[in-house]
Amino acid sequence: MPESSNPGHSRLNKTHKISIAGVAALGAAALAISVLPGSGESGTAVAAEPVAFSVTAANTNAKAVGANIAKQHVTAVKQAKAKAAADAKAKAEAEAKKRAADAAASRAAARKPVYANNLDGWIRQSLDIMKSKGIPGSYNGLYRNIMRESTGNPNAINGWDINAINGVPSKGLLQVIQPTFNAYHVAGTSWNIYDPVANITAAANYAADKYGSMDNVNGAY
């Protein structure tokens, strides 16, 4: 474009251009400063460094948090596995103890004798109890006295001897009076004087105390 013939107009254009360039430069600088957080009042570009530092610190912190979460997860998994293993072990031990107890009970039941519900069974059961309590006596000694006293009737009652006259008749297989039965009752047997095993065992205990053994009794005692 040809220069204007007006000198003032030409100088105005140059001044305007310089002003525009200066404003643009200042605007760019201001924009840079306003974008960068933490910049000082001087408006220098040095403020860009804290931005980079903050981003790096945030990344480092995020990595640390992630690592901590991962570590906690691993720890929780290990603890869960350890608890499951401990529970399984405890359950297995409890089941093993139960099986052992059941087996022991089964063996004990198998070893426990079964006594017939008759005179022979009553005498044999009484002898086993007597043996466990340290009361002397033999099968023959018990059988002989039972047959003499009651002929093997566990419900026999003597209604004519001196005990009966005194109001305390002799009862049961070995014809024991109630006070004697109570005094020589053997723990683990019935308190019913007519119970065959209880009657035999109490009478044997009394005979052992008074005569050394039922085997030594050959008449009324």
| CATH number reported for the structural domain that contains residue 139 in this entry | 1.10.530.10
163 and 102 in a common domain? no
165 and 138 in a common domain? yes
pLDDT above 70 coverage of the chain, percent: 74
Within a domain: 146? yes
Domain limits at 106? 50-112
Range name among 69-73, 108-112, 137-141, 180-184 with the lowest pLDDT average: 108-112
Within a domain: 168? yes
Within a domain: 93? yes
177 and 135 in a common domain? yes
Q: How far is CA 119 from CA 125, 129, 154, 195, 196, in A?
A: 10, 15, 9, 12, 8
Within a domain: 14? no
| Tally of structural domains, the chain | 2
| pLDDT higher than threshold 80 for residue 44 | no
102 and 76 in a common domain? yes
125 and 163 in a common domain? yes
pTM: 0.53
Within a domain: 210? yes
131 and 94 in a common domain? no
Within a domain: 105? yes
> Which of 80, 112, 144 is the last residue before a domain boundary?
112
Range name among 66-70, 125-129, 154-158 with the lowest pLDDT average: 66-70
| pLDDT higher than threshold 70 for residue 87 | yes
Within a domain: 144? yes
Average pLDDT rounded to a whole number, residues 101-125: 89
181 and 157 in a common domain? yes
* Contact assessment for residue 115 and residue 125, using Cβ atoms and an 8 Å cutoff: yes
Q: Give me the pLDDT at residue 219, please.
A: 82
DSSP E strands in 39-116: the ranges are: none
Q: Any idea how long the chain is?
A: 221
| pLDDT higher than threshold 60 for residue 24 | no
| pLDDT higher than threshold 80 for residue 108 | no
140 and 201 in a common domain? yes
Q: Give me the pLDDT at residue 55, please.
A: 62
Burial class (CB in 10 A: 0-12, 13-18, 19+), 124: middle
| Residue 138 CB coordination number (10 Å) | 15
127 and 171 in a common domain? yes
Which residue shows structure tokens 């001196």? 162
> DSSP letter at 46?
G
157 and 205 in a common domain? yes
